[in-house]
Structure 1
Amino acid sequence: MLDIRIRAANHEAKRRARGAANDDDPVAANHQDSVKNPLAALDAFLNRACFDAADPGALGEMLKQMVDAGYDRLPLPGSGRTLTRWRALAAVAARDLGLVKLFEGHTDALAILAELDAPHVPPGSRWGVWAAEAPDARVLATPLADGQLRLSGTKAWCSGAQAVSHALVTAWVGDEPVLAALTMDQPSISITTHHWHAVGMRATQSGDVRFDETRAVQLGAPHGYVRRAGFWQGGAGIAACWYGAAAGLASMMAEAVAARPDAHRLAHMGAVDVALAGAAAVLRATALQIDAHPGGDMQSAAMRARLVVEAAATTVVEHAGRALGAAPLCRNERFARAMADLPVFLRQSHAERDLAALGERTLGQRGDHGDPWEL
């Protein structure tokens, strides 16, 4: 049965979810440095971290270490420090995309729980957010007399399913979508990765999770998951992960170009710099916009940021490969993994469908907001 504490009114746990520190709390006190200086502490941790990025178990252990150390206590989106949050995600992405896939999902879950006013997050819990609605996989929810839900069905694309202790899952009560919170230690849950044949992002083991009368708790009202302000704020945060990975590739590229520069390599380096500078500017502006209007409609801003960063990251992958040739793809494990992982991660964008959706919104908003391209 789902730990009923997730529904109990527990102010202290809510405070933990929001990342605050309290001198009277020995657990929080141990992590004050990582809360006060999150980027510096996180960078130091990532620099000294040693793990096998190809091993799903190692990624899970890294996530556990990061949660236990308090590195997951990022500022919430729209809190006035959205850019700090995104810089942390970018730093993890530059280290390893498989790791940031788990870390971003966990920190997104904490933001969702805070936004939907979930009263308790168990200390040390590690969360996934599984909201993909595959055409051949759907989870049905049956309300119970005690106010909980019973879930049945399959959820596809569940990254890190074997690494997390809890999950937020979209499900359906009749024809209405709901968000359910559950613990992963229930015998009614089974995980399979037999469909996961990925090369890029392989270690995330994004498998299918089967629920068979699994106990869960509904969070918020039906449709609340997608209608909340944080939905698109979190969507823009994914772009920070893409940016961090692209910047990490650019750093490795810069070291190689500096060691053996020529006109062609330098031209590729310049193209990468232009792409990343433009993407960084858009991410900074979007973070400011979110913080200025935390309850506002950020769909257009988020989609624009995602598409700009996607284009920049694609540019980095292309120029890095053309500038450096086959050698680092074959002899530099970290570079080769990043070049394989990033194109897969970028497909969280829906490409031309997202461009079309943004174009439609842009045309619809021109009359209300004037020329959107005025400098």
Structure 2
Amino acid sequence: MDGERGEPHPRHAVRPAQQSYLEAAASCSGRVGPLLAALEGARGAADELAPFPGEGRTAERFAFLQRVAAEDVTAARVLEPHLDALAILHEAGMDAPRPGSTLGVFAAEAPGSVLRATPAPRAGTAAAGDGGTDAWVLDGVKPWCSLGARLTDALVTATTEGGDRRMFLVSLRQPGVTAEDTAWVARGLAEVQSGPLRFDGATARPVGGPGWYLDRPGFRWGAVGVAAAWWGGCLPFADALIAKAKRAGANQLAASRAGRVYRMLDAARAHLACAAAVIDGQEPSNDDAAAIAHAVRGTVADAVVETLAAVRDVLGPAALAFDESLARRYADLDLYVSQYHRGADDLSLATHLPDGGPRW
């Protein structure tokens, strides 16, 4: 597996902003503060931390995400939505927020939580519906806003008066945005609290037209980027399993499980590399993009589940009870990969499949 221990591929030189974030990841011990400070310090071009997907260097983007996750899973969980937000703005032809911004993407929905968007009234008018399209107002609650109380800005989806789902860029530091109390008791990703945000007349700018966020191929490419981070989070576990399998007197079970984990992670690596090549090639149809993203995410998620099971079975409870770094990584990755909805995602995949199934 190329770069399997977080080492850069010869083609992928490390940029200064990347090196700064990697150093923060290596020393953060799951704490979010140093990671956000590193993002705030990345004040160069919007693609300074990672190339945008679909512009010929997607493999480099994925490689950086896996390198960060190999250092610390929380660091990858903080970085990935920031990079995704920058890519979304780039795809929409919009500039990134002010230098020093930290970004999230909040697109989850939940029963009883509705965020509504209405055009802001023009100067001299009283009717909100009489506004232009460059200024909107958000009202309501958005669930699952990871680090909503600590980020400076976010891209959020909201429902318009016409029932359309649309994306908006909003400053989270304005008076109209409040982080609601949440009982975040997760042992994994402990500092990446994902509670609701309440919006009361918060001003926002539209990003793309109605439905654009979900319809664009970049929606699928962002999902593959998450899988690259999951994959990277497995690498220290793979190292530990292989090392135990190679010790003198290692039992056959340890060796067999190490071989299986390697095989599944290597297959997932190849699938990610293939996806990067497709993303940088001719723009696929929506069905093809969805099929690629679902298949890659499923392949990687299966490899993660197998890796976590092998850690539990082969390294045993002592590793999870007395090795702080390994135990935290286990809890972080276990929660992170739960973003993958196994049955539902495979059901969605089936609706996008070509006739006749896969071809060589």
Query: Normalized against structure 1, the TM-score is what?
Result: 0.82
Question: What is the DSSP-based 3-state SS (H/G/I as helix, E as strand, rest coil) of the residue aligned with 2:293?
Answer: helix
**CA 252–162 in structure 1, closer or farther in 2 if over 3 Å, else same:** farther
Residue 320 and residue 50 in structure 1: after superposition, are their counterparts in 2 closer, same or farther (change >3 A)? closer
| 1:142 matches 2:118 | yes
Equivalent positions of 1:1-375 (< 5 A) are 37-38=13-14, 42=18, 46=22, 51-65=27-41, 67-68=42-43, 73-146=49-122, 147-174=134-161, 175-259=163-247, 261-294=250-283, 296-297=285-286, 298-362=289-353, 365-366=354-355, 371-375=356-360
Letter in 1 for 2:135: Q
Give the distance between the partners of 1:150 and 1:325, measured in 2 at CA. Answer: 53
Q: Which runs of 5+ in 2 are unaligned?
A: 1-11, 123-133
The Cα of 1:357 is off from its aligned counterpart by 1.7
Distance verdict in 2 for CA 1:251–1:40, change over 3 Å: farther
Report how far residue 39 of structure 1 moved: 6.7
CA distance in 1, matches of 2:20, 2:33: 22
The Cα of 1:348 is off from its aligned counterpart by 1.3
Larger mean CA deviation between 143-152 and 218-227 belongs to: 143-152
Q: How big is the shift at 1:69?
A: 7.6
Aligned-residue sequence identity (percent) comes to: 31
**Which residue type is aligned with residue 129 of structure 1?**
V
Cα offset for 1:201?
Answer: 1.7
TM-superposed deviation, 1:249: 2.2
> How far apart, CA to CA, are the structure 1 residues paired with 2:64 and 2:43?
16
Post-superposition offset of 1:50: 5.3
Q: For residue 374 of structure 1, what is the amino acid of its counterpart?
A: R
Residue 264 of structure 1 and its aligned partner are, at CA, apart by 2.1
- d(CA) in 2 for partners of 1:43 and 1:276? 25
Listed one character per residue, the Cα deviations across residues 189-242 of structure 1 (whole Å, up to 9, x for unaligned) are 111342322122221011211111111111111111111120111111111111
User: How far apart are 1:52 and its partner, in Å?
Assistant: 4.2
Give the Cα–Cα distance (whole angstroms) in 2 for the partners of residues 59 and 223 of structure 1: 32
The answer (yes or no) to whether the contact 1:191–1:207 under 8 Å persists in 2 is yes
| Contact 1:271–1:319 under 8 Å retained in 2 | no
Alignment partner of 2:209: what SS?
A: coil
Cα distance change on mapping 1:48 and 1:130 into 2, 3 Å: closer
Q: Is the 8 A contact 1:179 1:220 kept in 2?
A: yes
* Residue 325 (structure 1) shift: 0.5
The answer to whether the 8 A contact 1:56-1:205 is kept is no
Shift in alpha-carbon separation, 1:310–1:58, aligned structure 2, 3 A: same
Summarize deviations over 1:63-85 as a string: whole Å, max 9, x none.
434x3587853111111111110
Question: What is the CA distance between 1:56 and its match in structure 2?
Answer: 3.8
**Contact 1:132-1:155 at 8 Å conserved across structures:** yes
Preserved contact between residue 17 and residue 48 of structure 2 (Cα < 8 Å): no
Q: Distance in 2 between matches of 1:48 and 1:132?
A: 28
The structural deviation recorded for 1:46 is: 2.5
- Flag the structure with higher helix content: 1
> For the Cα contact (< 8 Å) 1:43–1:91, is it kept in 2?
no
Contact 1:162 1:191 in 2 (8 A): yes
Q: Aligned residue for 2:3?
A: none
Residue identity matched to 1:162 = A
Give per-residue Cα distances to partners, 1:24-79, cap 9 Å, x unaligned.
xxxxxxxxxxxx823797468535755443434344334434x3587853111111
Note the C-alpha offset of 1:331: 1.5
Q: Aligned partner of 2:81: which letter? A: G
